[in-house]
Amino acid sequence: MKEQIDYKILKNFASGHYSLKDFTQVSRWFKDPGSEAELKITIEQHWNEFPIEIVEGEKDLSSVLNLLKHKIASEKPSVNLKIKFQRFYTQAAAILLLPLLLYSIYSTFLATSSSDNSSLVEIYSPQGARTHFQLPDGTKGWLNSGSTLKYATNFLGNRKVQLSGEAWFEVIHNKDKPFVVSTPALDVQVLGTKFNVAAFLNEKVTEVVLQEGKVQVDGTDKKFTAELKPNERFIYDALLKTSTIQNVNADQFSAWKDGLLVFRNEPLSEVLNRIGRWYNVEIVMTDPMLQKFRYRATFQEEQIEEVIRLISLTAPIEYSFNNRKVDDKGTFKKRSIIIRRKAN
Amino acid sequence: MYREQPQTEQQLVSLLQGGSPFAFERLFENYSQKLYRFSLSYLKSETEAEEIVQDVFMKLWENRHYLRSDTSFQSYLFTIAFNAIRKHFNKKSRDEKYAASILEYLASENASIETNPDYELLVTKLEQLIGQMPDRRKEIFMKRKKEGMSVRDIALTMDISPKTVENQITEAMNFLKKKFQKDSTLGMVFLYIFQY
């Protein structure tokens, strides 16, 4: 049924002066496929009359723009455009890394047999970025740099995710459907709560830090099981095969999601390791003696040059930055920093 | 980096067609505010309006090779925007539409509800009244109307009998009916004037 679309009613609706009757009518116009063409013409009329300048305050859309720029920059560019992109965005890259809401959700569907219902959705957070995610049940969280989260499309029936890397979770309470985070060494089972899990592939330690609520940590093959209370940190060392529980300030462990880089009395090697991951830079430390220096610090939105400089104020290090190079295939390599012990 | 500063929109469009992130950013600066406010006026949600800006510009970038400098850029931008806005508008979930469906029902007893020129104020009044209900009744009512749970499921979740659930919902609707009655629209008009 083709209705006559009333421009005045549409305009009133847009400006907030409308009745229930108007609202019902407008909803019908939007819904009815037969009205689409006429609706478009009418709304375009409104668009053409809509002022481009603003009288009231501007809305801050910089986060949207930054997200778009990041997506554009992470596309695989064709060879001759590569240089153009890199030069434009290198300046922005350091600023893009920390304070942003990077909403890059990138899914891959791996279809297997239909009875198996095991199509996987994958969320990936690129190196040097933090990514916010939301799962089908409303659970929200953050994925840290270089981390991946996977879940099956039947997630609502079986709330299980696989994590490689580090993530912060704010799990929606559902006592009939426990939420499970699966990592290579252990599973974390929760009811409704906030916690951080760190399980990096090339690291031999898996950690769970609980902020609020209650979780149960189960080792694979039932090697161990533990129940955590808020502000407890569970550490499993895969090499030594030991598990420990410490009392900590949980906020420090999830600070990364707010763009804060926090070090809590960590050896310099660990500090540099994390800085490397955070900024997506390769850090090479040539002197193992430097390990004995421990750091407690918080960095917020600093450029990497500043962070290394600050560290060098109290540790006897010398450093040099090798800026991005192109290898013979034409791909850009990560920046690298070489850290040496300062002579004398 | 770039030797000349492009002035005209036509130049920006043709640079964008060639994949210039600089041109993309300039066009974003030129149109994002208008697109945001326009989308906001139809979708009534800041989050959704922001999503529209993101979706539209992303699409603009993805299809940059198909841009033509002879057609109006604003018109092209609008086409992308219209499709996105329409999609979002129709996707409104049950819990966003629950207020409208309750008011529709109440309008069958009081026709002035349908023609009252400030629908958004009616929704506010409805939400306020629901807030005034005793906790348990409010919970049952919202589970039924907003979340769309069946009477049976509500009874199971809250560990009460289905009859209790039905009674509570009837009580709630009677309460609302009374508050939205013909002679109390005078109260609403009073409130309306007062807000100005």
* Distance of residue B34 Cα from the nearest chain A Cα, in angstroms: 5
Could B117 and A67 be called an inter-chain contact, meaning their C-beta atoms sit closer than 8 Å? no
In this structure, are A78 and A129 located in the same domain? no
Partner-chain residue, chosen from A19, A46, A51, that has the shortest CB–CB distance to B119: A19
In this structure, are A117 and A136 located in the same domain? yes
Could A39 and B86 be called an inter-chain contact, meaning their C-beta atoms sit closer than 8 Å? yes
Could A20 and B25 be called an inter-chain contact, meaning their C-beta atoms sit closer than 8 Å? no
pLDDT digits (tens, 9 = 90+) for B152-186: 999 999 999 999 999 999 999 999 999 988 655 54
Partner-chain residue, chosen from B21, B75, B107, that has the shortest CB–CB distance to A88: B21
Task: State the total domains in chain A.
Answer: 4
Q: Is residue A74 part of a domain?
A: yes
What pLDDT does residue B191 have?
46
- Report the CATH number at residue A280: 3.55.50.30
Cβ of B93 under 8 Å from any chain A Cβ?
A: no
Out of A79-88, A192-201, A241-250, B124-133, the most confident range is B124-133
Q: When comparing pLDDT for A3 and B107, which is higher? A: B107
* Distance of residue B26 Cα from the nearest chain A Cα, in angstroms: 11
Coil, strand or helix: which one is A223? coil
What pLDDT does residue B126 have?
93
Coil, strand or helix: which one is B117? coil
| CB < 8 Å to B100, chain A | 20, 23-24
| CB < 8 Å to B25, chain A | 65, 69
* Distance of residue A318 Cα from the nearest chain B Cα, in angstroms: 33
- Buried residues in A315-334 as b, exposed as e (16+ CB within 10 A): bebebeeeeeeeeeeeeeee
What pLDDT does residue A202 have?
63
Could B89 and A23 be called an inter-chain contact, meaning their C-beta atoms sit closer than 8 Å? no
Cβ of B22 under 8 Å from any chain A Cβ?
A: yes
In this structure, are A200 and A278 located in the same domain? no
Nearest residue of A to residue B86, measured between CA atoms: A30
pLDDT cut 90: percent of chain B above it: 63
Stretch among A7-16, A219-228, A299-308, B187-196 having the lowest mean pLDDT = B187-196
What A21-30 contacts at long range (C-beta under 8 Å, 24+ apart), as own/partner pairs, is A21/B114, A21/B115, A22/B119, A23/B100, A23/B119, A24/B100, A24/B104, A27/B89, A28/A3, A29/A3, A29/A5, A30/B86, A30/B89, A30/B90
Q: Is residue A249 part of a domain?
A: yes
Asked if A271 contacts A293 with a C-beta cutoff of 8 angstroms, the reply is: no
Q: Is residue A77 part of a domain?
A: yes
Out of A1-10, A116-125, B86-95, the most confident range is B86-95
Cβ of A76 under 8 Å from any chain B Cβ?
A: no
In this structure, are A18 and A122 located in the same domain? no
- Report the CATH number at residue A155: 2.60.120.1440
Asked if B169 contacts B146 with a C-beta cutoff of 8 angstroms, the reply is: no
Confidence of residue A1 (pLDDT cuts 50, 70, 90): low
What pLDDT does residue B183 have?
56
In this structure, are A137 and A232 located in the same domain? yes
pLDDT digits (tens, 9 = 90+) for A283-321: 887 777 776 677 777 777 677 888 888 888 777 788 888
Could A20 and B116 be called an inter-chain contact, meaning their C-beta atoms sit closer than 8 Å? yes
In this structure, are A251 and A106 located in the same domain? yes
Q: Is residue A2 part of a domain?
A: no
Measured CA to CA, the distance from residue A223 to residue A186 in angstroms comes to 9
What pLDDT does residue A4 have?
85
* Distance of residue A193 Cα from the nearest chain B Cα, in angstroms: 21
In this structure, are A111 and A213 located in the same domain? yes
What pLDDT does residue A91 have?
44
For the record, the structure tokens of A148 come out as 């991946």
Which of A40, A74, A97 is where one domain is finished?
Answer: A97
Q: What residue ranges define each of the domains in chain B, with the CATH number in brackets? A: 9-90 (1.10.1740.10), 94-195 (no CATH)
In this structure, are A108 and A39 located in the same domain? no
In this structure, are A225 and A292 located in the same domain? no
In this structure, are A334 and A287 located in the same domain? yes
In this structure, are A116 and A75 located in the same domain? no
φ/ψ of A168, rounded to 5, equals -115, 130
Which of A97, A128, A162 is where one domain is finished?
Answer: A97
Between chain A and chain B, the number of residue pairs with CB atoms below 8 A apart is 107
Instruction: Kindly report the pTM of this predicted structure.
Output: 0.50
Domain residues for A93?
56-97
Angle between the N-to-C axes of helices B135-145 and B119-132, in degrees from 0 to 180, rounded to the nearest 10: 130
The residue to which tokens 């039947």 are assigned: A154
Q: Is residue A1 part of a domain?
A: no
In this structure, are A237 and A278 located in the same domain? no
Interval A80-98 mean pLDDT: 42
Could A61 and B115 be called an inter-chain contact, meaning their C-beta atoms sit closer than 8 Å? no
pLDDT digits (tens, 9 = 90+) for B91-149: 987 777 899 999 999 998 888 899 998 999 999 999 999 999 999 999 999 999 999 99
For residue A107, the surrounding DSSP H or E stretch is none
| CB < 8 Å to B123, chain A | none
For residue A148, the surrounding DSSP H or E stretch is strand A147-152
